Chain A
Amino acid sequence: MIGEIDIAGIFISPLLLCMIVGFAVRLLLSRLLEAAGFYRVVWQRPLFDTALFLILTGAAFIVLRLVTRS
């Protein structure tokens, strides 16, 4: 299903790649939400950001799985 991610001969678990993607997308999304004023309806911002990061990581994992299966 999911193989290994090869970075210059070092093979790592694909989960790490998903986490990096999740982190990057979260940064971008946070900035957009900030601009849109969404954070006014957020209660604890660090908790919300962490949750967002996890959800995006999971999403990246599912996308990677779908892409590598076909």
Chain B
Amino acid sequence: MTFDRDTLLRLLKPLLTLLVALIAMLVLWHLYSYYTYAPQTRDGKIRADVVPLAADVSGRVEEVHVRDNQAVHKGDLLFTIDHVRLRNALAQAEAAVATAQATLSAAERENRRYQGLADIVSGQQRDDRRSQAEEARARYAQAIADRDLARINLERSAVRAPVNGIVTNFSLRPGAYATAGQAVMALVDSDSYYVAGYFEETKLSHVRPGAHATIRVMGEDQPLSGHVEGRSAGIDDRERTTAAGTLLANVNPTFSWVRLAQRVPVRIAIDKVPSGIDLIAGRTVTVTLDGAEDALTVRRAS
């Protein structure tokens, strides 16, 4: 049986086209796997710990020693609270110490004298003097403690930087009233920068602690390098709340047919920052972990 040219062509035509289509399917699968399973995310942020700094004693702000965006070292003076009243309180406490000391020495003298007159005075009188001396000693200790507290308050009227950092969004001026415990300025801890990569849950099996990470900051040419420090133990369940009145679970009854992978924060320590890139908390980054290529081969092999 022989084929003429036309029959041969008619048989070969679908074969060639289908072969090309098959290759296209493979390419599509490769791209799909890369975007679905490779441990990389475009959803990353540079983060830093922020100290919401508050005064420890209430009072009018007297002097401000820093300006906005200034880098400060641990222990640097930031601002001072008006300390006239605090110094006055310390003077008062010191006077109280002097009074208590005078009372104490008088009571002790009298106690000693009474103890020496064992034959003349009654036992009850001797006991009274002894307890008076003990009370005076306790009051003296109390006065000392009060004075130490007043001294600490006076010292704390000077607010110092608790960490190395950068003063941010700062607009405190002398004359403002600072309430104890209420934050008046934000200090970004410059030793605490890290990258939070929000990885989809489909990619988490390829996220291993210690894996090297390439971090591209939006708008910068040079990539940062880092490594995976760990991943979150949990994220919020968006389908469930607790009802306020009954304290029972309130589960969202509308379940969507299209489900999206949750994103889990992965903490990435920054190892190397190329010169010229300033780390700014909140910047957008793309994180690619080493093994993004391997993920594909592993996926296909399994």
Contacts and interface: CB of A to CB of B under 8 A. Distances in A.
Contacts of B218: 4, 11
Residues of A contacting B: mostly:
helix
B63 to A, nearest CB: 42
Given A4-B42, A61-B31, A42 B24 contact: no
B245 to A, nearest CB: 46
A41 B16 contact: yes
Contacts of A42: 13, 16-17
Contacts of B16: 41-43
A52 B234 CA distance: 44
B21 A57 contact: no
A6 B284 CA distance: 13
B40 A41 contact: no
Contacts of A50: 21, 24
A47 interface: yes
A35 interface: no
Interface in A1-52: 1-4, 6, 11, 13, 15, 40-44, 47-48, 50-52
Contact of A41 (B13, B21, B219): B13
9 contacts: A1-B292, A4-B42, A42-B16, A43-B16, A51-B24, A54-B24, A55-B20, A55-B24, A58-B31
Contact of B216 (A3, A15, A52): A3
Contacts of B12: 41
A20 to B, nearest CB: 15
A37 B14 CA distance: 17
A43 B13 contact: yes
Nearest to A53: B24
A58 B40 CA distance: 18
Contacts of B23: 51, 55
What are the 8 tightest A-B residue pairs by CB atom distance, in nearest-first order?
Answer: A58-B27, A51-B24, A54-B24, A43-B17, A43-B13, A3-B216, A43-B14, A51-B21
Residues of B contacting A: mostly:
helix
Interface in B17-31: 17-18, 20-21, 23-25, 27-28, 30-31
B35 interface: yes
A3 B27 contact: no
A52 B31 CA distance: 15
B214 interface: yes
B57 to A, nearest CB: 47
B54 to A, nearest CB: 38
Given A1-B214, A4-B286, A41-B12, 16 more contacts: A1-B40, A1-B288, A1-B292, A11-B284, A42-B17, A44-B14, A48-B21, A50-B24, A51-B17, A51-B23, A54-B24, A54-B27, A57-B27, A58-B27, A58-B30, A61-B31
Nearest to B26: A58
A18 B18 CA distance: 24
B121 interface: no
**Residue picked from A40, A41, A43, A47, most chain B C-beta under 10 Å:** A43
